[in-house]
């Protein structure tokens, strides 16, 4: 499932949590947890890292359109997956 999240983000479509969850057929909470896991493991990072620690207190967190950036590690993994 984590690879699915990365693959969706790699497509370059708008990737706010709500839309990403809908495309994957999972809850917003699960997408948020998966994104945090991918960030912690170095596969993904936010283009605005100062925002992430305060997301839980943010009044617009349900409509957030945080921009994620794939790391070189992720790009390589996705490239190998396509082979």
DSSP result, the chain: -HHHHHHHHHTTS---HHHHHHHHTS-HHHHHHHHHHHHHTTSEEESSTTTGGGGGG-TTGGG----EEE-HHHHHHHHHHH-
Domains with residue ranges and CATH for the chain: 2-82 (1.10.10.10)
Largest CA distance in the chain: 42
pLDDT digits (tens, 9 = 90+) for 4-51: 888 888 887 656 788 888 989 999 899 989 988 998 999 888 766 555
Q: Would the pTM of this model clear 0.75, i.e. be above it?
A: no
Strand pairing partners for 46?
Answer: 68
């Amino acid at each position: 499932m984590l690879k699915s999240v990365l693959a969706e983000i790699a497509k370059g479509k708008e990737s706010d949590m709500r839309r990403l969850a809908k495309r994957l057929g999972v809850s917003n909470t699960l997408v948020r947890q998966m994104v945090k896991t991918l960030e912690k493991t170095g596969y993904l990072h936010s283009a605005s890292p100062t925002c992430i620690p305060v997301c839980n207190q943010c009044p617009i967190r349900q409509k957030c359109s945080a921009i994620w950036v794939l790391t070189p590690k992720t790009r390589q993994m996705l490239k190998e997956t396509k082979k």
